[in-house]
């Protein structure tokens, strides 16, 4: 049986965890894998009682129940009333000749009681984003390990599977604390992420085209590529506009512009250091007359030695992690703006700061580039960037070349503030959920250094 890449990842995760959650987008193949797993276990272990549920019985019968029978017919070539029997009642059942049964039931917290009088081996929940945490806890309490352990001679335990679409506000949904947050998640659980790109063979003709017509480009990218973290979250830079065509390719417009070096503009390297030399170098130009910034190129990678990024800054082609980089200009005709924050002292290495190591590396080459230090406050520099992303008059003054700045675009679309259950921001320090924020820091340092916020007091003095 041919599985797509999403399903292979999910089945691999099941081996090591008691609870496996597939948080995936439309048509990524989640429901199929739930049905497939339960059927395989029913055929292997006689007499087990399985359960699969969804919030309402109506939606369960119209979707998952039909999918289960489809898998039996089309993938296992089993025939109803010969190889299995279907009991179509208020809580439908599928029964195998070996005595194994799969019960289908709703998980509405008001009607779940009738399902709590029995115990189940494996349990699956489809469309998990629809149910609340209490329903999950109640049905989880009805899981027993005895039969599976006995039939497998102790080599297997019961599994609890959940398939869910990304909740519209990921950080607010109860599943965040139980399956995503490393500080509060269930220890024996894992969450994997699925998306349409890995299931193209199994989607209807024209499905993606219809979806692209129905949603904005940002949401489309999330569903196509699975980067659902920022879905409707409190983005730091929610005014960025990165338009795409129907094939998902970036096109000019908004903050997107395909560019070459303009000899009439000022050249800058904006640079952010990390902990063990993860860093971001952006190659920027500044049009002082119009107050516009252009990001032409990026070098964003981890564990880079100072000698290597000095080579890059000098305009030489370098090879790092099997990828070649070459800046469109060099420190001979550009200013290097380096971000240093108050916490930078925690990032010392062998008693020498990253900046000192970089200066020493440059000295080996006989170079003494023009370096400026930028250390703005977090919110002040974020406001500086916002004023250029899209100002109060709707004018955009930051332009990104998508050919060479893919990481920057990915980061900015995931850079968000943590919020509480009511949607209120609970911290002024943004979160990135595993997405690199070096590119965002690099932009903050550089833009605020060149075009800082002018206070009201200073404006009055100028008048």
Q: What is the pLDDT of residues 40-92, one digit of tens each?
A: 999 999 999 999 999 999 999 999 999 999 999 999 999 999 999 999 988 89
Residue 160 pairs in a beta bridge with 19, 123
* Complete domains list, the chain, with CATH: 5-213 (3.40.50.300), 266-456 (3.30.420.280)
Task: Write the CA distances from 384 to 378, 389, 393, 458, integer angstroms.
Answer: 10, 9, 15, 16
The two three-digit tokens of residue 291, written as one number: 């107050």
SS3 423: coil
The two three-digit tokens of residue 202, written as one number: 């199994």
pLDDT digits (tens, 9 = 90+) for 187-205: 899 988 888 888 888 888 8
Going 244 to 247 to 248 to 251, the CA torsion angle's sign is: negative
Within 10 angstroms of residue 386's Cβ, the number of other Cβ atoms is 18
Q: Which of 317, 315, 319 is nearest to 331 (CA)?
A: 315
Predicted local distance difference test score (pLDDT) of residue 348: 41
Main-chain phi, psi angles of 184, to 5 degrees: -125, 0
For 388-410, letters b (16+ CB in 10 Å) and e give bbbeeeeebbbbbbbebbebbbb
Q: Give every residue of the chain whose pLDDT is below 70, as ranges.
A: 1, 167-172, 216-219, 221-222, 226-233, 274-278, 341-352, 419-424, 432-436, 454-463
State the pTM of this model.
0.56
pLDDT digits (tens, 9 = 90+) for 267-299: 999 998 865 555 899 999 999 999 999 999 999
Residues in the chain: 463
Contacts of 366 (CB under 8 A, 6+ apart): none
Predicted local distance difference test score (pLDDT) of residue 414: 77
């Amino acid at each position: 049986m041919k599985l797509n890449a999403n399903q292979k990842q999910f089945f691999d995760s099941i081996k090591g965890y008691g609870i496996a959650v597939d948080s995936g987008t439309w048509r990524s193949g989640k429901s199929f894998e739930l049905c497939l797993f339960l059927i395989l276990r029913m055929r292997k272990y006689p007499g087990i009682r399985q359960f699969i549920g969804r919030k309402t019985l109506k939606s369960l019968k119209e979707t998952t129940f039909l999918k289960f029978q489809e898998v039996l017919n089309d993938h296992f070539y089993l025939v109803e009333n010969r190889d299995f029997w279907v009991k179509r009642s208020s809580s439908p059942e599928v029964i195998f000749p070996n005595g194994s049964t799969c019960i289908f039931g709703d998980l509405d917290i008001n009607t779940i009681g009738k399902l709590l009088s029995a115990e189940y081996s494996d349990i699956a929940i489809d469309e998990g984003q629809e149910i609340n945490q209490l329903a999950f806890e109640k049905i989880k309490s009805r899981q027993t390990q005895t039969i599976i352990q006995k039939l497998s001679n102790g080599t297997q335990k019961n599994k609890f599977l959940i398939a869910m679409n990304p909740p519209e506000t990921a950080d607010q949904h109860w599943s965040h604390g139980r399956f995503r947050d490393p500080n509060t998640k269930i220890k024996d659980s894992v969450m994997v992420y699925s998306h349409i790109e890995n299931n193209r063979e199994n989607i209807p003709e024209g499905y993606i085209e219809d979806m692209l017509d129905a949603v904005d480009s940002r949401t489309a990218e999330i569903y196509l590529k699975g980067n659902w973290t920022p879905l409707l979250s409190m983005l730091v830079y929610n005014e960025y506009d990165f338009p795409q065509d129907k094939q998902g390719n970036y096109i000019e417009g908004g903050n997107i512009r395909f560019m070459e070096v303009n000899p009439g503009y000022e050249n800058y390297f904006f640079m952010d250091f990390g902990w063990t030399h993860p860093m971001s170098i952006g190659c920027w130009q500044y049009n002082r007359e119009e107050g516009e910034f252009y990001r032409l190129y990026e070098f964003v990678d981890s564990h880079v030695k100072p000698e290597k990024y000095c080579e890059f800054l000098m305009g030489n082609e370098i090879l790092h992690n099997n990828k070649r980089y070459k800046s469109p200009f060099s420190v001979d005709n550009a200013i290097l703006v380096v971000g240093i924050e108050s916490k930078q002292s925690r990032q010392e290495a062998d008693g020498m700061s990253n900046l000192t190591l970089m200066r020493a590396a440059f000295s080996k080459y006989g170079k003494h580039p023009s370096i400026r230090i930028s250390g703005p406050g977090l919110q002040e520099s974020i406001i500086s960037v916002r004023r250029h992303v899209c100002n109060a008059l709707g004018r955009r003054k930051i332009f990104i070349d998508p050919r060479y700045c893919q990481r920057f675009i990915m980061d900015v679309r995931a850079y968000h503030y943590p919020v509480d259950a009511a949607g209120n921001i609970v911290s002024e320090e943004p979160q990135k959920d595993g997405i690199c924020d070096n590119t965002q820091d690099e932009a903050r340092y550089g833009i605020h250094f060149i075009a800082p916020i002018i206070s009201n007091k200073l404006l009055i003095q100028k008048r």
